[in-house]
């Protein structure tokens, strides 16, 4: 379609000359920008501007275009393209049939989140990988990255080895990958105390395999409450000749 200029200045008395300059010459699809048409003379409120594959084509590029502004020697044209390619920017003096080619406009593809480089401690979620950014490269404002899992939320995996327990002091530490893995044990966990260090209460004796059993924490303690998911350490480390 043809974009009609809406200018606030009256028709110039001098002979009209089409614009000869175009800036910028490259834009990104999906990005809102303003094209400046400069170097004209006697530009009028009823002059037309279109962006098409060629100036002699009736169809125009798929763009959302606002109203022209300016007058006299230049015009401003807000644009936002859905497609990519190289297009002609064309000017038509009111009352004339001919379209003059002002210049070539390249609409480059925008970047995707998959091309982003996240800062340490963040990752690109799978459902955002194909998200289009506002420019040819993505920036922080495109919100492609999200924080990795921290040790508190990932302890069930990171500290899943029998010999490891969650290190409460490491709760806010962030794992290097999107989710914590067993290899993050050194970051998130502490070594569990071994049952040979457990002091059995009266009426109980150490299990014969105590050297292969681990307490619920980094230090074996006499139980007062159950420590989930391990239960009472007395159940882990001691034989129970008496009912408990």
Distance CA 127, CA 142 (A): 14
pLDDT of residue 128: 92
Rounded distance between C-alpha atoms, residue 220 and residue 197, angstroms: 6
Q: What span, in angstroms and rounded, lies between the C-alpha atoms of 2 and 47? A: 10
Residues in the chain: 244
pLDDT in tens, 60-86: 765 545 556 666 777 777 887 878 889
Exposure class string for 154-193: b at 16+ Cβ within 10 A, else e: bbebbbeeeebbbbeebeebbbeebebbeebbebbbbebb
pLDDT surpasses 60 at 1: no
Lowest mean pLDDT among 153-162, 171-180, 197-206, 215-224: 215-224
In this prediction, residue 225 has a pLDDT band, given cuts at 50, 70 and 90, of very low
pLDDT for position 14: 45
- Reported as a pLDDT band with limits 50, 70 and 90, residue 190 is very high
| Measured distance CA(51)–CA(66) in Å, rounded | 13
Cβ atoms of 194 and 218 within 8 Å: the answer is no
User: pLDDT by residue (tens digit) across 40-56?
Assistant: 888 776 788 888 888 88
Q: What is the pLDDT of residue 45?
A: 67
Q: Is 224's pLDDT higher than 60?
A: no
Q: Please determine, for residue 120, whether its predicted confidence score (pLDDT) is greater than 50.
A: yes
Over residues 7-43, the pLDDT tens digits come to 333 334 445 688 888 888 888 887 778 888 888 888 7
183 — pLDDT class (breaks 50, 70, 90):
very high
Predicted local confidence at residue 42, as pLDDT: 81
Confidence of residue 229 (pLDDT cuts 50, 70, 90): very low
User: Taking the complete model, does pTM exceed 0.85, yes or no?
Assistant: no
Rg of the chain on CA atoms, in Å: 35
């Amino acid at each position: 379609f043809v974009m009609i200029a809406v200018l606030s200045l009256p028709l110039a008395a001098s002979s009209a000359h089409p614009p000869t300059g175009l800036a910028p010459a490259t834009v990104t699809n999906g990005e809102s920008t303003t094209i400046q048409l400069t170097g004209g003379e006697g530009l009028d409120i009823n002059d037309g501007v279109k962006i098409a594959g060629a100036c002699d084509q009736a169809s125009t590029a798929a763009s959302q275009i606002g109203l022209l502004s300016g007058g006299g020697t230049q015009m401003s044209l807000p644009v936002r393209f859905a497609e990519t390619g190289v297009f002609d920017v064309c000017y038509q003096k009111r009352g004339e049939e001919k379209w003059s080619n002002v210049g070539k406009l390249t609409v480059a593809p925008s970047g995707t989140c998959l091309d982003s480089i996240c800062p340490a401690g963040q990752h690109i979620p799978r459902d955002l990988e194909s998200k289009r950014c506002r420019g040819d490269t993505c920036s922080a404002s495109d919100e492609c990255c999200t924080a990795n899992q921290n040790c508190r939320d990932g302890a069930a995996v990171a500290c899943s080895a029998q010999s490891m327990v969650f290190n409460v002091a490491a709760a806010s530490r962030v794992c290097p990958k999107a989710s914590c893995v067993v290899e993050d044990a050194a970051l998130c966990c502490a070594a569990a105390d071994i049952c040979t260090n457990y002091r059995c209460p009266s009426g109980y004796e150490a299990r014969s395999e105590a050297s292969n059993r681990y307490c619920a924490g980094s230090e074996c303690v006499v139980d007062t409450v159950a420590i989930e998911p391990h239960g009472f350490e007395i159940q882990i480390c001691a034989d129970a000749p008496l009912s408990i």
